[in-house]
Amino acid sequence: MRHILSVTVNNQPSVLARISGLFSRRNFNILSLNVGETELPEYSRMTIVVEGNTDTLEQVKKQLYKLIDVIKITELNQSNMIERDMAIIKVNCGKNQRSQVIQVVDVFRGKVVDFSLDTITVEITGDENKINAFIEIMKDFGIKEVVRTGIVAIDREMNNNALTNS
């Protein structure tokens, strides 16, 4: 089962290295990892997507809380969160296919960010399923390169104080 953790940490050098090292040492696989500064510059928020059963998830949380820079860990409820992923995709595209590719981009509410004689580069944001569906369709045209940000997510609840332990 896939779990999405929102982890608030001190915004300090090497915190990311310590956390990724913890996952490596414990043989936990990270499916997606995204880190950015929060509304308070002294903190960063990590969105970590892991796969495993409930026992694995509890072990991950216990190990994370042992790290001094971890302030709060929240498992996001996938039915009550806002999730986004972004991809930049370079697609093979001659001038005969350009209008077809642009139509698909428009349907997915993507944005053409660059083009050349042989390629179109597209930016697309949305949930993971939307990005995956777009990539599948673009395979028919021939994908040259894909770069993804990984998932960022936030709880919909307004009364969730980010800097208190739960």
pLDDT digits (tens, 9 = 90+) for 3-25: 999 999 999 999 999 999 988 88
Distance CA 161, CA 85 (A): 24
CATH of 83-152, one of 3.40.50.12780, 1.10.3720.10, 3.30.70.1150, 3.30.470.30: 3.30.70.1150
User: What mean pLDDT is predicted for residues 116-120?
Assistant: 93
Instruction: For the chain, give every domain's residue range.
Output: 2-75, 83-152
Distance CA 132, CA 35 (A): 22
Instruction: Give which of 142, 111, 140 is closest to 126, Cα–Cα.
Output: 111
pTM, entire model: 0.82
Taking residues 136-145, report their average pLDDT. 96
User: What tens digit of pLDDT does each residue of 36-50 get?
Assistant: 999 999 999 999 999
User: Which pLDDT does position 164 carry in this prediction?
Assistant: 47
Top-level class of domain 2-75 = alpha beta
Q: Which residues of 52-84 are buried (b: 16+ CB within 10 A; e: fewer)?
A: eeeebbeebbebbeeeebbbbbbbbeeeeeebb
Q: Per-residue pLDDT tens for 57-100? A: 899 999 999 999 999 999 999 889 999 999 999 999 988 899 99
Q: What is the pLDDT of residue 72?
A: 95
CA–CA separation, 76 and 82 (whole Å):
9
